[in-house]
Amino acid sequence: MTDIAAQSLEIARKWASEPFDADTRAEVQALIDANDIETIKNRFGASMQFGTAGLRGVMGAGRTMMNAYMIAKATQALALCLEEEYGDEAVHRGVVVGYDCRHNSEKFARVTAGVLAANGIQVYLYDRLTPTNLVPFAIRKMGAFAGVMVTSSHNPKVYNGYKVFWSNGAQIISPVDAQVASRMDKLDDIGNRALTVEEGVERGLIRILSDDMIDAYTDWVVKSAVHTGANDVDIVYTPLGGTGWACAKASFDRAGFKKVRVVEEEKTPSGDFAGLDAPNPERPDTWPRALKLAKEVNAEIVLANDGDADRLGVAIPVNGEYKILGGNQIGALMLNYIIENLPEDKRNTDSFAICSVVSSPLTRAICENAGVDFQETLTGFKWMGNVADERVKRGQHFLFAYEEAFGFTYSDARDKDGIISVLLLAELAADCKAKGKRVIDVLDEIYLKNGIHFEDAAERFYEGLSGKDTMANVLANLRNNPPHAIAGIDVVRVRDLLNSRTIDLKTGAAEPVIHLPKQDMLTFYLADNSWISLRPSGTEPKLKSYLGVIGHASKEEYPVIKAALEAKLARIKAAVKEML
């Protein structure tokens, strides 16, 4: 037996003993009895790390798994961070805590509230499951110092997570994430003190958030989303068995949408997500029931939130079938609609939009043609939300932010919000109808004006303790030995964010990248303006690739050029899969 196996087994034996609870002891003892050394190593050979705005992982017993002990450990670290780094103001302004419908989410939220309260920190705990967006909304509305949402968003149902927001309503970034992580690393797996929620309420350390806050959120959604007041459109909506329906329905009702049908089988929130493997509208296997209903009722737009309703998927009728739009297409439609309805005095470079480095260059083109400013950030709303907040503080006007992974936001939100996105897309479709157009017509107009941009993605999972090292090695090999052609197209430049430089492969000249922080990410720019970006996921053990092609066409050439670009994109995707 290797040293790591022996050490893992020793830790596992501790978890199979008191004071760990009976269910945990039984789960770990079963692994020991089965001599399942590989699983024991994966669960006890390392410890869960506080990463992208918090924690995320598969639920189960162990130091690398999502369970009440890791939740308590992370929360104790957060409490120490608030007390030691930010003092009385953080303690008194307090922390908002919410949870979604995943298995154990309510339990984990109650543990979170109890640990914070035991440290004397004021807690505002929702009395029911909610979309993630309700936590940053309450932070901003009440002036809380931070927030925790127990959710794993769109991930498979075996996952859960712990997302931390800061006082501006955005996800935490440096130095806060490192301040929490360093404290978590020093804590024991068990023994972190906690009150029950009932004790916290009795002592005045836990206040319950209920109808008033949810009503205020719905009012804000309608105020933010309604631009023209158009609302005559046939809609099919699904929350994919997640938390979205109550807030979406209230928003539709208040905005005057009368023709909304919900997918009944997916309406009720449940940790089983109506039998779906993952409540993720990016996945084609989540759409069949919604599209079946859409065909039956001849819906003009189909809208799908993910499990915690911070993402949005869209399908529209095209040539008698329903086309599921990509995140970049949805983002282009939303940005274009917001700009179209922007007052003239806001159509200048003091107004700005943001997208991530792996999202479509179409965003930049739309902004430049409209005369508004554009900025790209690293992937993730923790970057976009904080950039937006800083620019607004300097007196600039925030228009829109999005990432290709179906995350969108606008108004004064600082994190992706699937509910305000649902309502904006509903109004956009109604506005198209009022003007005698279809949504696909508007998308075609955007392409003709700004260039045809098609994107796709590919990924590969790397499981186990060695997964992270394997991913790093793949990227290191590509960094040190970049391909000179992909799918038969010359690679002309490589942007390497880990080393903050862009290299011209023909001349060897290097240009510094100064507008983005360091990240283990490579982007290959091809001779025909196609592009490929590679990076490890921040939340799952997988290497992600993003790819795009660009072309221009007149109205007469448009169908032919579109088909040629789609074929090229397929060839590039096949080549990239071989690289992973």
For residues 112 and 150, what is the distance between their CA atoms, to the nearest angstrom? Answer: 9
Based on the residue annotation, tell me whether 153 is a catalytic residue of this protein: yes
HEC string for 51-88:
ECCEEEEEECCCCCCECHHHHHHHHHHHHHHHHHHHHH
- Alpha carbon 265 to its chain centroid, in Å, reads 25
Q: Are strands 489-496 and 485-486 parallel, antiparallel or unpaired?
A: antiparallel
For residues 326 and 212, what is the distance between their CA atoms, to the nearest angstrom? Answer: 35
DSSP of 318-351, one letter per residue?
Answer: ETTEEEEPPHHHHHHHHHHHHHHTS-GGG-STTE
Nearest Cα neighbor of 576 from 358, 283, 354 is: 358
Residue pair 486/532 in contact (Cβ under 8 Å)? The answer is: yes
Nearest Cα neighbor of 299 from 330, 262, 255 is: 262
| Backbone angles phi and psi of 99, in degrees to 5 | -155, 155
At residue 505, the 3 state secondary structure works out as coil
Residue pair 312/408 in contact (Cβ under 8 Å)? The answer is: yes
- 107's enclosing H/E stretch is helix 105-118
DSSP 8-state class, residue 171 = B
Please identify which of the residues 8, 105, 152, 153 carries the catalytic annotation: 153
At residue 537, the 3 state secondary structure works out as coil
Q: Which two tokens stand for residue 284?
A: 């084609």
Nearest Cα neighbor of 264 from 245, 248, 281 is: 245
Residue numbers annotated as active site? 153
